[in-house]
């Protein structure tokens, strides 16, 4: 029955997804998207709260009988990317693109809402749809929405990410840490500039920065327990000067990914220790900022086993290795039990699979059926079993 209901919603889910894809909005700048979501839920007869935590939407469907409350979270922000796909629903907002699948996540949640309305008289309990803004940009929208009571009365929370590199029909779960903490590092190195022909009169900030980048690579290999994981990557190194000028200043930006709090603390500490040593040796000074971003996404064991059991009839369920990518879904599970899983969305006919956050990112829209089936099944099963009806 669940599969039939979702298949009946599929054409509308595709239409919703493509509409949102054409009109993407950046993190913390979402205006029309939350209005669209709120209006959709209101037409279904759900209780709707807007501007939750700033730009979020929370819609509540109440069953005919009292019971527990399931939350389903879907994010809806886009990325500052110029789309290169040649499709009828190509982004109409210059320089902005749904390059991560959040348009699909929103369509899935709205499709589930419409399906549940059809069986509202049979439900014992409530379903809360948490439509979150600003997942792509720290500090993200989850914290603010939680502070604005989006989890009030919620007993369990479920979420999924459409995953284009993974085959259509695959569903990957993991108990414990599934995604990493995502932190940002900002460094300025101040030297003493001068003429390129007189390096002995300078403190070369480019050379000092280069030595730091190289030296810092040994932190993970020599300071972190090899049975634990960490990544440190410099993604930005900038010195704006003429070809014959030795720079007096460089600016670096990078990211740190970890799963364990002790490793996270160590990375923050050891990066500065290495930076200080290199700068002291060169006669340079520095400023160092370590911004802690999203925590790791840590799934609860019972809820993960539950979602896996619900998913088996809709796809090929397997356990994923932990991923070093970040997501602010972890904040929700610091407050209520829950689990977050991946739904394969690779197009079987695709010659090249473009990664998330790429200008030619795309996913197979049939993956929305798989994700919606799993989430709808889990919602119904959870409410029924918690009321002794299963």
CA dist., res. 193 & res. 167, Å (int): 53
C-alpha neighbours within 13 Å on the C-beta side of residue 329: 30
The question of whether 75 is a catalytic residue gets the answer no
Which is catalytic among the residues 135, 183, 303, 381? 135
CA dist., res. 23 & res. 337, Å (int): 34
The question of whether 362 is a catalytic residue gets the answer no
DSSP 225-238: -TTS-EEEEEEEEE
Which is catalytic among the residues 77, 303, 328, 364? 77
105 among annotated binding-site residues: no
CA dist., res. 301 & res. 313, Å (int): 20
Cβ(254)–Cβ(216) below 8 Å: no
Residues with Cβ within 8 Å of 114's Cβ and at least 6 positions away in sequence, in order, are: 9, 12, 44
- Give me the torsion for CA of 293, 75, 82, 257, rounded to 10°: 30
Which of 131, 179, 278 lies closest to 219 in space, CA to CA? 278
335 among annotated binding-site residues: no
150 among annotated binding-site residues: no
The SS3 of residue 25 is: coil
Cβ(170)–Cβ(315) below 8 Å: yes
Residues with Cβ within 8 Å of 185's Cβ and at least 6 positions away in sequence, in order, are: 232, 252, 253, 254, 255, 256, 271, 288, 289, 290, 291
Residues with Cβ within 8 Å of 283's Cβ and at least 6 positions away in sequence, in order, are: 191, 192, 203
Structure tokens at 222: 């020599």
Residue 129 pairs in a beta bridge with: 59, 72
102 among annotated binding-site residues: yes
100 among annotated binding-site residues: yes
- Which residues are known binding-site members? 100, 102, 136, 161, 357
- Which residues are known binding-site members for Mn(2+)? 100, 102, 136, 161, 357
Catalytic residue positions, numbered: 77, 135
């Amino acid at each position: 029955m669940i599969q039939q209901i979702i298949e009946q919603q599929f054409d509308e889910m595709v239409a919703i997804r493509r509409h949102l894809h054409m009109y993407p909005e950046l993190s913390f700048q979402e205006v029309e998207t939350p209005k669209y979501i709120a209006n959709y839920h209101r037409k279904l007869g759900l209780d709707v709260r807007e501007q939750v935590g700033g730009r979020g939407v929370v819609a509540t469907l109440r069953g005919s009988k009292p019971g527990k409350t399931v939350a389903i979270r879907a994010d809806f922000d886009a990325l500052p990317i110029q789309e290169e796909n040649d499709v009828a629903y190509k982004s109409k907002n210059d320089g902005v693109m749904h390059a991560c699948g959040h348009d699909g996540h929103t369509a899935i949640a709205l499709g589930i809402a419409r399906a549940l309305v059809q069986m509202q008289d049979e439900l014992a309990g409530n379903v809360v749809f948490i439509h979150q803004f600003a997942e792509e940009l720290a500090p993200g929208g989850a914290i603010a929405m939680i502070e604005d009571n989006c989890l009030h009365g919620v007993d369990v929370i479920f979420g999924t990410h459409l995953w284009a590199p993974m085959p259509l029909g695959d569903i990957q779960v993991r108990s414990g840490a599934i995604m990493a903490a995502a932190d940002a590092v900002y460094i300025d190195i101040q030297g003493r500039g001068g003429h390129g022909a007189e390096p002995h009169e300078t403190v070369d900030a480019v050379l000092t920065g280069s030595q730091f980048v190289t030296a810092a690579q040994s932190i993970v290999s020599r300071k972190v327990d090899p049975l634990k994981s960490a990544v440190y990557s410099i993604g930005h190194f900038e010195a704006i000067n003429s070809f014959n000028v030795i720079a007096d200043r460089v600016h670096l930006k990078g990211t740190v990914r970890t799963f364990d709090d002790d490793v996270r603390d160590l990375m923050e500490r050891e990066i500065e220790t290495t930076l200080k040593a290199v700068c002291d040796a060169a006669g340079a000074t520095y400023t160092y900022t370590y911004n802690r971003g999203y925590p790791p996404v840590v799934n609860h064991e019972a809820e993960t086993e539950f979602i896996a059991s619900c998913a088996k009839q809709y796809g090929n369920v397997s356990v994923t290795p932990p991923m070093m990518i970040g997501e602010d879904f972890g904040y929700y599970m610091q407050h209520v039990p829950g689990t977050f899983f991946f739904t394969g969305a690779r197009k079987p006919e695709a010659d090249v699979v473009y990664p998330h956050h790429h200008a030619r990112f795309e996913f197979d829209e049939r993956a929305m059926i798989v994700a919606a089936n799993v989430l709808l099944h889990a919602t119904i099963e959870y409410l029924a079993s918690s009321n002794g009806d299963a």
